[in-house]
Amino acid sequence: MHAAHSKLDLNLLVALDALLEEGSVGGAALRLHLSSPAMSRTLARIRKALGDPVLVRSGQAMVPTPRALAIRAEVHELVERAAAVFSPRDLDLAALERTFTLQADDSIITVVGPALLDRIRRDAPGAALRFLPEGPEDTSGLRDGRVDLEIGVVDGAPPEVRVEPLIEDQPVGVVRAGHPLLDGEPTAERFAAADHLTVSRRGRLEGPIDERLAERGLRRRVVASAPTFSSALVMLAETDLVGRAGRRMHAPVLERFGLVAFDLPVETPSTMLAMAWHRRYEADAAHAWLRRCVRGVVAGGY
C-alpha cells in the first residue's frame, strides 16, 4: 500500500459524501456539524488524497468534477455500509438522525406526504424527509445513491433495484361539487363536450383518454394544462373544468378540496403504484422502517 494511503482517514469518505450530495462547503459543514473553515480544510485534504479538485466553482455554484461524478455512488455506498456496521442491531428510532430522500410524482407527494411526515415525526423526530420531483423514467437516482426510495409507476427496473407493488388504482373524472356534468349521467358525449384540464410537466394537452374518445368519434376540448397535480386541484375547485385523478389514491385530498369523483365514460387502464429501492438498503434497519411507514400509510388510505 502506498505510504500516503497507509493512514487513510475514513472521515474523509464521510466528508466527501456530504460535499458531493450538498454541492457546497457550507452545506456539507452544516450537515456534519462543522465550521466552514474546518470543512474547507477537509476539502483540501480530500483534494490532495485524490489528486483531483473534486468541486470547482462555476458562477455562484460549486460543480463536481468528472472524477467526483464517477466515484460518487461508490463513496455513498461505502459510507452507508460503514454506518450499518457501526449502528446498533436494534433500531432506536428516538435517537435516529437521518435524512431520507424520496422521489415521487407530485400527485403522490400531495397525498402521501402529509401522512408519512406525521408518522415519521411522531416515531423518529430526528429524521427528515427530502421529497424530490419525479425525474426521467429510469432508476438512476436509486443506483447512484441520490434517492433512498422511489414511489410511483416503476417499469423495467434493473436487477439491483427491488420493486414492491403497493396499490392498484383506477382513474376517475374529477369536478367541483355542483358541476353541471353531475346533473344526470356523465355520458361520453357530455364528457367530451365539457372543458378539460390536463396535468403535464411538459404542457401536453392530450393523453390516452383522447384515443379512447376518438374510437367513438368524439373529441374533447382541453383548455388548460397544469404542471402539477396540486395546482390542478386548486384550478378544478375554482372553475367548471374537468380533471382526472386516482379513485383510491386521491380520495382524501379530493374531499379536502370539495371535489367530486365520477366514473369515466370510456375504458381506461388501471395503474400500479409501487415503491422501489436499491438492494444495498435491503438489510438497513432504518430503511426497512421507512418502507414499513410507506406501506402502512398507503394501506391505510393515506
**Angle at 130 (CA atoms; ends 128, 133), nearest 5 degrees:** 160
The predicted pLDDT at position 34 comes to 86
The predicted pLDDT at position 210 comes to 87
User: Are 75 and 139 within one domain?
Assistant: no
User: Are 176 and 241 within one domain?
Assistant: yes
**Residue 199, CA distances (Å) to 36, 164, 242 in order:** 43, 26, 11
User: Are 54 and 109 within one domain?
Assistant: no
User: Are 74 and 212 within one domain?
Assistant: no
Cell of 42: 477537509
CATH of the domain at 26: 1.10.10.10
The predicted pLDDT at position 104 comes to 93
User: Are 188 and 265 within one domain?
Assistant: yes
The model's pTM is 0.69
**Residue 98, CA distances (Å) to 77, 132, 182, 278, 282 in order:** 15, 16, 47, 17, 17
User: Are 247 and 183 within one domain?
Assistant: yes
CATH of the domain at 127: 3.40.190.10
Looking at the 3D structure of the chain, how many domains does it have?
3
pLDDT along the chain (302 residues), means of 10: 53 89 87 87 92 89 89 82 67 89 92 93 94 70 86 86 92 95 93 93 75 90 92 96 93 92 91 90 89 88 50
Residues 6+ apart with CB under 8 A from 157: 139, 163, 276
The predicted pLDDT at position 201 comes to 77
Do the Cβ atoms of 168 and 271 come closer than 8 Å? Answer: yes
Phi, psi at residue 49, to the nearest 5°?
-65, -35
User: Are 175 and 264 within one domain?
Assistant: yes
The predicted pLDDT at position 4 comes to 45
Element (DSSP H or E) covering residue 225:
strand 221-226
Alpha helices in the chain (DSSP H): 11-22, 25-31, 36-50, 66-86, 106-123, 140-143, 188-193, 208-215, 229-238, 251-256, 285-299
Q: Count other Cβ atoms within 10 Å, centred on residue 96.
A: 17
Domain of 15 in residue numbering reads as 3-86
Q: Count other Cβ atoms within 10 Å, centred on residue 24.
A: 16
User: Are 35 and 159 within one domain?
Assistant: no
